[in-house]
Amino acid sequence: MIFSPPLRGRVASALPPLLAALAVAGALASSPASAATVEGRVSLPATRSTPVVNQRYEIVTKSGVLSTNPPVAVVYLEGQFPAPATPPVASMRQKDLTFLPSLLPIQAGTRVEFPNLDDTYHNIFSFSPAKRFDLGRYRAEDRPIPSQVFDTPGLVTLRCDIHEHMRALILVLATPHFVVTDADGRFRLTGLPAGRYTLKAWIDSKTTRTQAVELPATDVPVRADFP
């Protein structure tokens, strides 16, 4: 087809607005749906009378039940989620003869590094069924930093073979969506896919509360409390 000069001018002038409209439409089509948010509060047990240095969470045992003191909970969304493109990496440090953090939730498949920040040897190990390992004795300057991949969901108790008082927990979860509550039990879990799921609150090694939630594709938070 051959356009006359005036017609060619009209077509050319119409191209920029048309291309702009197509670009906007493409951006809208490729943008993800609004991520959902769930927030609420978990009723936590009373804080034990044992003092906690510098407000750090310590792992305590009572009648065979492992928990943090002061108490906190791990709230997580259970469902079928794709595996991450890149395996996650987390850190469980040793500082001042204490594990930091004392409670570490991670997604299954995460590699956890155990840097030694003390001027002494540490020897981290676990006899937990979800992950058995022994890192052996190592110093702060030793490289590479010892690490382990945690593939199996479950609770892993960490100890130090040299410092018997040291203890920590790694909660391995089959989900990328989790958060630790504050000391009052409040939580806010963001970036969630819309749909029907099970929301859980891990409180201690024997207590996990559960409720069903339906998350719409909206920015309005869904309220979920665990009384």
Which pLDDT value is given to residue 166?
92
Q: How far is it, in rounded angstroms, from Cα 38 to Cα 103?
A: 22
Instruction: Answer positive or negative: Cα dihedral of 92, 105, 63, 224.
Output: positive
Please give the residue that has the higher pLDDT: either 20 or 197. Answer: 197
- The proportion of the chain whose per-residue pLDDT surpasses 90, expressed as a percent, equals 70
Residue 6's contacts (CB-CB under 8 Å, 6 or more residues apart) are none
Q: What is the mean pLDDT of the chain?
A: 85
Residue bearing the bigger pLDDT, 22 or 37? 37
The residue with greater pLDDT, 191 or 5, is 191
* pLDDT tops 80 at residue 12: no
If you search the block for the tokens 């493409």, which residue do you land on? Answer: 26
Question: How far out from the chain centre does Cα 91 lie?
Answer: 12
- Give the model confidence (pLDDT) of 25-53 as tens digits: 343 333 345 689 999 999 999 876 554 44
What share of the chain in percent tops pLDDT 70? 81
| DSSP E strands, the chain | 36-41, 58-62, 65-69, 74-78, 89-91, 93-95, 98-100, 103-107, 110-113, 124-128, 131-134, 147-150, 154-160, 167-173, 178-180, 186-192, 195-204, 207-215, 222-223
226 Cβ partners below 8 Å, 6+ apart?
40, 41, 42, 43, 73, 75, 185, 201, 209, 211
Name the fold adopted by 36-223.
Answer: Immunoglobulin-like (2.60.40)
Distance CA 87, CA 149 (A): 9
Sheet with strand 74-78: strands edge to edge? 178-180, 74-78, 195-204, 207-215
In this prediction, residue 34 carries a pLDDT of 62
Residue range 38-93, pLDDT digits in tens: 999 999 998 765 544 444 668 988 888 999 999 999 999 999 898 888 989 999 99
Task: Report whether pLDDT(118) > 60.
Answer: yes
What is this structure's pTM?
Answer: 0.80
User: Would you state the pLDDT for residue 22?
Assistant: 38
- Beta-strand runs (E) in 20-140: 36-41, 58-62, 65-69, 74-78, 89-91, 93-95, 98-100, 103-107, 110-113, 124-128, 131-134
